[in-house]
Structure 1
């Protein structure tokens, strides 16, 4: 390992080294220091030389790691360092420094390490400085680290707070108090990269302020993003700015952060933002679609010809109202079932809609317009976890207007298949608790197999063709 400690003649007591005069050499110290870095002094070179010595002698690594933890915990080398499973190299490293033999468990007082270091050719160096050079990091106590993170987080919020509107200012104050939607995300990202976090937060706040200063007309997400940040993609849902913006919208709406794409798009729409206004679709036949001038002439032709028409969210946004000629409308989950039933659309006595599985924002918007007009809604879906959960979700959205349609336990027996329910499907049945779908959910859980709309077609068709 090489000579580390200063040697002393037998019988001589070890004393503190006498001060050196400039230009003189202590007989036990190296005559030359390592080359200095620009701006460094003699002690900087000694620290670097000491750290390099430890680097080329791996037996010191775990000892130094333990000492670094002592500094981080209490700001000084306090307590004992113990290596129960110390290797031969580690025991030899300790012997070279302390001048006495060691064997497992290797144990010494932490402050003795620096004392022993001062009796070597590296005397005068600070153990803390050596540890910082060795590990390539500034050594801070945990309290100092926490204080630094607090300062960093506060600086991000302070910068974002300037000139904010009422909603964003309240949200930022809640974040400062350690609450509010998005606190955990913002805190974590501010720790990693305060600069980028500040940029994302500023963009989210600027977007909501811009939205609230607007004229109330729907605005597309990319247009809002470009106006607030100059980047049309800055508020995309996968970016930090986009996630913070969703947290801000959820805070504004009094809702939880959206856990699915459907809930995300619904949150956008609720706040007057069109995110997916072209590909968000719903198909219907027979409804009266109205603008300020009365029934839309183009859609009126589809209705008169009893032909299905697919509506985008953008199309629905231009409507002032939707109603049923007979005060009722039927909904089905499955596109194939809808298409099969529409073969008899010439004889329908009520409009028919298709949600195509999980309702899109366009489908939800259409239902909202129908309930606003007082239309009674009847929904039919599959008898499995997903189908019954969708039915329960729609019922909760409009409990006074929507009723299950051929979705009772007796209907399950008519359409029951041999397809076993998955564990995930069984779990979704719990979503029906406290709704009119609960009896059907219990029947499906007991039966253990799914039931499908296709097997209910005769009964669905009969009711669509029956005059009230």
Structure 2
């Protein structure tokens, strides 16, 4: 903090800086800083006999010891006509060790900066066509309540918000909260998206404010809580079609036999011949972007639970089977999209619960069709359950895009059907040649 520009004469400072007057100058400083540095109003201070005598010498009138109310205007006049030859603001700055701050003006400037930041954010959201998204208000309110931006200041907050809005604009095709679908657009590498949105390939990395803002937006869009762990943040990125890394996340496949002479296609057919399950990573899929994965029109089954694929491998079923292992990863979506684009007939089966309906919606969007997932299939599965194996259906109801009656039927029954309970029926389909 710079020292005051005005310096009191040594003798005057020695008189005014006596410890008995410290409370007076501290109180005057607080009042001046909160009063736009205007020497108006009064301060109340407790004076001992020494302090009262010294203040009497400043004001030129009797002052008794005890709790006294002192006029700042009187101090201003007295100091200017004394050997101090300065006003109260300069004297107090000298006596307390650093310049006074106009707190009201600083607060107004601070408020103006933040108002401008939020206005700019609203302008960007409107420009990118995001302002009317139903989750935007919830997202912004969450940011304000958490104080995410106030800790870094308005200037840094404005930069982070600008990069965030650009990223959300790019990801918008992947966000469809109205239907419950997610990740229906193209997939992105995190560094690729960061470079496009922020100009820095690490701009969305763990610990970066812009990335945290994007993830809060994704969570708001899919009505999930704010991610508080690395694992949950990774899942949120994947739900938005963004791969944090392209080698860890995989999708399980059985009997996937790409045609052709490319070494990768030959390798995959060799693994199939050896009855081996393959973990396909996104990096591997992207390394062969132009190769067909199946013959056009080939039947490919897909499931949610790895137990189904495990049983398929045990019985050496002839059909290709893809397992998305619950909520599909970027690799799983990418594989199904590639298969669909190549003309494969993809039949998907999952859980009859609300999460399972949501997943099925997304996979239908990626190119699959339902496999034993109709209202009748659900009712038959409910009827086959023994009372001790009944699981209650919980959570928020979700509309099934492939069957207009399924939601109401599931609500009436109130029973969740997990995929593994349907294993005999699914295996019968998979073993049929």
TM-score normalised to structure 2 length: 0.60
Q: Does 2:316 correspond to 1:345?
A: yes
Assess, with a 3 A threshold, how the Cα gap between structure 1 residues 265 and 128 changes in structure 2: closer, same or farther: farther
Q: Secondary structure at the match of 1:353?
A: strand
Identify the residue that residue 362 of structure 1 maps to in structure 2.
331
Do the aligned partners of 2:4 and 2:97 also contact (CA within 8 Å) in 1? no
Higher RCO structure, 1 or 2 (CA under 8 Å, sep 6+): 2
Cα gap change, 1:127/1:331 in structure 2, threshold over 3 Å: closer, same or farther?
Answer: same
1-structure distance, mates of 2:413, 2:93: 67
Do the aligned residues in 1 keep the contact of 2:79 with 2:87 (CA within 8 Å)?
no
Matched, 1:402 2:372: no
Q: Deviations over 1:444-466 (max 9, x none)?
A: 44444532222111111111122
Structure 1 CA distance for aligned equivalents of residues 20 and 74 of structure 2? 15
Which residue number in structure 2 is paired with residue 391 of structure 1? 360
Q: CA deviation at 1:138?
A: 2.6
Unaligned runs of at least 5 residues, structure 1: 1-35, 83-89, 158-170, 208-217
Which residue is equivalent to 2:299?
328
Task: Tell me if structure 2 keeps the 8 A contact 1:114–1:127.
Answer: no
Q: Distance in 2 between matches of 1:292 and 1:128?
A: 87
Evaluate the alpha carbon distance shift between residue 47 and residue 175 of structure 1 in structure 2; reply closer, same or farther with a 3 A threshold.
Answer: farther
Q: 1:139 pairs with 92, 102, 125, which one?
A: 102
Q: 2:88 aligns with which of 121, 126, 129?
A: 126
Paired residues of 2:247 and 2:281 also in contact (CA < 8 A): yes
Query: Could you say what secondary structure the match of 1:42 adopts?
Result: coil
CA offsets 1:365-393 (integer angstroms, 9 cap, x no match)? 00111111232322222233322221222
Partner of 1:303: 272
What's the counterpart of residue 276 of structure 1? 245
Q: 1:261 aligned to 2:238? A: no
SS in structure 1 at match of 2:248: coil
2:428 counterpart of 1:457: no
Structure-2 change in CA distance of 1:375 and 1:466 (3 Å): same
In the other structure, the counterpart of 2:395 is 426
* 1:404 and 1:437 in contact (8 A); partners too: no
Q: How far did 1:227 drift?
A: 13
CA RMSD of aligned residues (A): 5.8
C-alpha separation in 1, matches of 2:46 and 2:298: 92
Task: Give the whole-Å Cα distance in 1 for the aligned partners of 2:241 and 2:191.
Answer: 12
Which sections of structure 2, spanning at least 5 residues, go unmatched? 168-186, 227-232
CA contact (8 A) 2:194 2:201 kept: yes
What is the TM-score with the length of structure 1 in the denominator? 0.56
The equivalent of 1:192 in structure 2 is: 152
Separation in structure 1 between the aligned mates of residue 349 and residue 15 of structure 2, nearest angstrom: 76
2:72 is the alignment partner of 1:114: yes
Q: 1:379-414: per-residue Cα shift (whole Å, max 9, x none)?
A: 22223332222122223444xx42253453313444
1:285 Cα deviation from its structure 2 partner: 1.4
Q: After superposition, what is the alpha-carbon deviation per residue over 1:31-81, rounded to whole angstroms, capped at 9, x for unaligned?
A: xxxxx95865118996996798786479x86x976765553xxx8588x99
Q: Is the 8 A contact 1:391 1:437 kept in 2?
A: no
What is the DSSP-based 3-state SS (H/G/I as helix, E as strand, rest coil) of the residue aligned with 2:325? coil
The answer as to 2:344 corresponding to 1:375 is yes
For residue 182 of structure 2, what is the aligned residue in structure 1?
Answer: none
Between the aligned partners of 1:464 and 1:278, the Cα distance in structure 2 is: 29
The equivalent residue for 1:42 is 8
- Residue 173 of structure 2 corresponds to none
Question: How far off its partner does 1:313 sit?
Answer: 0.5
Separation of aligned partners in 2, 1:332 and 1:440: 19
CA contact (8 A) 1:50 1:130 kept: no
CA contact (8 A) 2:234 2:244 kept: no
Tell me the residue number matched to 1:160.
none
> In 2, are the aligned partners of 1:392 and 1:437 still within 8 Å (CA)?
no
Assess if the C-alpha contact under 8 Å between 2:164 and 2:210 holds in 1.
yes
SS at structure 1 position matched to 2:258 = strand
